[in-house]
Structure 1
Amino acid sequence: MTDAGDALDPAELRAWTAFLAAGHLLDHEIERQLKRDGGLSHAEFEVLVRLHRADGGRLRMSDLAREVMISKSRLTYQITRLERAGLVKRTGCESDRRSVWAELTEDGAATLDRVRPGHRGVVREALIDVLTPAEIEVLGDALTRVGDRLRAR
């Protein structure tokens, strides 16, 4: 392990800058597709996906914020936009008056169904199809370790 102040060697710098560039470019492609096909931002899409996967199509706002890895205030902004569009609704929690549920609406599920094929296409074309199966395994393992380390903080 190196000290935090150590400069990156050429291979490390190449990996870091390639990661940044690929991440930004992929996010831009995904954002364009989601805007075009459903008028959604990438963050809004992730909220809809998490709600769709949740039991009953709903999650407490605090749990949803952890799942999409954004602040509660940023989630509130995203939910407000999605609620205005009729894609989610907020309801009070019967068992805990301090909690609020975010629920996927029928329109939200329909929007998700409409944009998902294009999203999968962008991910496949821009990332998956460029890599070998072995590279996909290594990338998945490596980024999982990075995420685990950061979540532990």
Structure 2
Amino acid sequence: MLNFVKPYEKIQNHILAKEGCNDYRTEHLEIELWSNFPIEKQAYKTYTRDLYRKFREEFELIGRYNAFQVGADIFELRPNQEFVAKYGSRNYLVQARVEEGSYLCECCKMDKDGILCCHILKVFTHIGVDVIPERYLLRRWTPNAVPSAPGTGYEQPDEMPPQSKKQIRGGT
């Protein structure tokens, strides 16, 4: 049992230290925004700093594509360079149902990674969507992902209620 508990505690301490570091960076680290688009400002305010960096890397790729409307709610994204990092040289189709706030891309990055792809983000900027719909801002990427983390509004009591202490001691 001890052979299991010691390595487990070590892993748990490593995870807690990493979460603490992420919390600190989110609360204290200021990063300059890449653009003035409202969706980038929303991502900056919503995501942890580490996730915002990933969002920003993706968002910076919007300039590598041109968007063409090819159907009522279908856009074709064509690279304006020979090769786009992570995506190659192919075209992508994005379905944009603006009234429903529903956006789907062939690359399926949202399904795989839980973050919007540059193709959907390009469509946002192309058609003037200024707010990322809530369904695409996954809670797991926000500072509120852990209910007991600092600054979430959830306060853990510092000590056990008196009635519980009494019950533990054997009193009723």
Q: If the length of structure 1 is used for normalisation, what is the TM-score?
A: 0.31
The structure that has the greater radius of gyration is 2
Relative contact order, higher structure (CA 8 A, sep 6+): 1
